[in-house]
Structure 1
Amino acid sequence: MAGAPGSEAGARAPHLRWGVIGCGVIANEMAQTLAREGRALDGVANRTHEKAQAFGERYGVRRVYDTIDELIASPDVDAIYLTTPHNTHITYLRQALAAGKHVLCEKSITLNSDELACARELAAKSGVQLMDACTVLHMPLYKELRRRAQAGDFGRVNLVQENFGSYKDYDMRNRFFNPNLAGGALLDIGVYSITLARLFLESCPTELASLMNPAPTGVDETDGILMRNPEGQMVVLSLTLHSKQPKRAMVSADAAYLEVMEYPRADAAKVVWTADGRVEEVHAGERERALGYVTDDLEAAVAGDEEAAAQIETSADVMALMTRLRRDWGFSYPEEQQDR
């Protein structure tokens, strides 16, 4: 493990030396988040070195590496935030985990369950932390709502309903519709929806029914998904990349329903109580600090926080569901077809 500081469970999480691979929107947000907290990235690398150089100059990154391989091998980096397209994740995960780096990986963490199982095995072998950066896992609002749900405050959860719709122009070269960049609604936006649902279910769904409308490139453009677990809790999801919908989640329980708008990075929810219609506002965290909570959780896991480290189990359930859905649709990505 490359010089990562450690501590006993419950101790203050260490500040790791962070490197980022990729210079897109998420990498910029991470650098800005660290800057607001008086911190800076320790390294950056990108497939195009000129972009890495410009990124490094903009954010005062301590070192711009000539290649991604050099950053992964560097003894001056403890943890890597991987922000490249979905279909490149497993390649860099294999390298970084084998090199003893902790890795925080953007959603979707891998293309499928087999890739995630491989990455988890490597992380365990190297004694490092692997974490999914899907913001729903890390926002304080969901930690608070889940705590209350598990304590029985809302009664038994019966149904989770979620919408997520974005309007993307038909440009088949961009990442949303391009199968060579692992495009499609499920891996891009559905991962938020399924992750949120899984947080409030007693167990992972085992029954799935779905319909998918493909974009001209074959990736899923619009998805309708119905799921049920052995306890009878149901999930209904509506996803689309070519029609605008509100990002709305509703968790219905016996004693109340929870409503969350703009749920990928939500910091507020409404609880409507069944008995009298009373409305309770719940606030936790700050939407603007979403990536700060993500990096905090990785650092907490390294310090021995078992709850933070266990988030990967939720990610594994979500990945299993997404893998099964795509199998039901008969859709696979080029990398998966090559592996057959």
Structure 2
Amino acid sequence: MMKWGILGPGSIAHHFAEALQKEGESILAVGARNKEKGQAFAEKFDIPRVYEGFQGVLDDSEVDVVYIATPHAFHYETIIEALKHGKHVLAEKAITVNSKQLDEITALAAEKQLIVAEAMTIYHMPIYKELQQLVDAGKIGDIQTLSVNFNSIKENDPKNRFFNPDLAGGALLDIGVYALAFVRMFIQEEPSEVISTVTKHETGVDQQAGIILKNKKGQLATITLSFMVESPERATVMGTKGFIDMEKFSRAQHATVCYVEQGKTETIEAGETEKALQYEVKAMKELIEKDVPHVTLPYTKDVMKIMDQLRKQWEISFSFE
């Protein structure tokens, strides 16, 4: 059994700790900048070791793997330190802020023979394995077009993580990473053309955007992101023989498949939305148990490159980059 350390006891960390316990994993330590929050978190989940700050967890020789749940502005430095201390790492999305950071992490993980993975639900939900098999079998023909909408109203507070540039705020790095991961999973190769438009918040970060992606095979994707409106979280994959339609795609457990040629519709179900974080835990355990040097970033590098291009187009950068 692996011994986990949790860095940053925020709301997502509470859900992840529950997932760890349901999977029978051992949570040995928690690190928190606020000692009181760390103590409360430890009491709730019966965690024996509480450290003020993160260094204590990283120095703890009995911790095998760390889960990083801090704002993504701090992921790079924390992941680097964790790897230097010999820890496997599972970090929340977005795993880093830019490609340069990710490349450095990838190189260090390979050198240390450690696992680094992004806690991206789309990569681990069972429904996506079913859909990939369906696509690979040619059931909906050749994929031509994808459409993704991900919109969520956020409190208009310049200091919160959604709009604060010091915390790498903006819709792209928060919810856009899901939309881009979805697209990259279904297209055959990374986009060669990236076209976009953006509306910025008063703090300078992106608050909504329209994005068009196209690769050299002619596959086209359109993405709408917004922190200003609410709408169904929906994604559609369109092929020459049919299409796949998904709601709440980031943690989906079912999808509707329309076979145009046959004029019929099928509902495919796999996995459970409520177990989304448990699937991440299982995937991380499997990677570590393989006992081989491996950095599991299936499409993350491509997604990060796209986000770099978009922020360059929008002239959005962060002071700490």
TM class, shorter-length: over 0.9
Amino acid at match of 2:300: S
The residue aligned with 1:33 is 19
2:321 is the alignment partner of 1:333: no
Provide TM-score, normalisation by structure 2: 0.97
2:169 is the alignment partner of 1:183: yes
Amino acid at match of 1:63: R
Amino acid at match of 1:131: A
Paired with 2:279 and 2:288, the residues of 1 have a C-alpha distance of 14
- Partner of 1:272, secondary structure, is strand
1:197-228 residue CA offsets vs partner (Å, 9 max, x unmatched): 10001000010100010011110001100000
The residue aligned with 1:315 is 300
Amino acid at match of 2:198: M
- Partner of 2:313, secondary structure, is helix
The residue aligned with 1:198 is 184
The residue aligned with 1:271 is 257
Displacement of 1:311 after TM fit? 4.3
The residue aligned with 1:262 is 248
Moved more, 33-42 or 247-256: 33-42
In the TM superposition, 1:147-296 aligns within 5 A as 147-296=133-282
Contact 2:144 2:220 in 1 (8 A): yes
The residue aligned with 1:324 is 309
The residue aligned with 2:29 is 43
Paired with 2:318 and 2:91, the residues of 1 have a C-alpha distance of 19
Q: 1:72 aligns with which of 51, 54, 58?
A: 58
Amino acid at match of 2:306: L
Paired with 2:103 and 2:288, the residues of 1 have a C-alpha distance of 20
- Partner of 1:295, secondary structure, is helix
Contact 1:265 1:290 in 2 (8 A): yes
Q: 1:115 aligns with which of 101, 108, 131?
A: 101
Contact 2:110 2:295 in 1 (8 A): no
Instruction: Kindly report the root-mean-square deviation, in angstroms, between the aligned alpha carbons of the 2 structures.
Output: 1.5
Moved more, 34-43 or 272-281: 34-43
- Partner of 1:65, secondary structure, is strand
Paired with 1:323 and 1:170, the residues of 2 have a C-alpha distance of 25
Displacement of 1:189 after TM fit? 0.2
- Partner of 1:77, secondary structure, is coil
Amino acid at match of 1:313: P
Change (3 A) 1:299 1:23: same
- Partner of 2:320, secondary structure, is helix
Displacement of 1:36 after TM fit? 2.8
Contact 2:114 2:295 in 1 (8 A): no
Contact 1:17 1:79 in 2 (8 A): yes
2:111 is the alignment partner of 1:125: yes
Contact 2:19 2:281 in 1 (8 A): no
Displacement of 1:70 after TM fit? 1.2
In the TM superposition, 1:76-95 aligns within 5 A as 76-95=62-81
- Partner of 2:133, secondary structure, is helix
Contact 2:31 2:51 in 1 (8 A): yes
The residue aligned with 1:11 is none
Contact 2:9 2:38 in 1 (8 A): yes
Amino acid at match of 1:116: L
Displacement of 1:310 after TM fit? 6.5
The residue aligned with 2:42 is 56
Amino acid at match of 2:68: L
Which contiguous aligned blocks of 4+ residues in structure 1 show a shift greater than 3 angstroms? 37-40
Displacement of 1:47 after TM fit? 1.2
- Partner of 2:16, secondary structure, is helix
Paired with 2:296 and 2:265, the residues of 1 have a C-alpha distance of 30
Displacement of 1:46 after TM fit? 1.0
Contact 1:113 1:319 in 2 (8 A): yes
Change (3 A) 1:206 1:328: same
Change (3 A) 1:43 1:90: same
Matched pairs, number: 321
Paired with 2:52 and 2:295, the residues of 1 have a C-alpha distance of 34
Contact 1:139 1:285 in 2 (8 A): yes
Structure 2 unmatched runs, 5+: none
Paired with 1:107 and 1:240, the residues of 2 have a C-alpha distance of 18
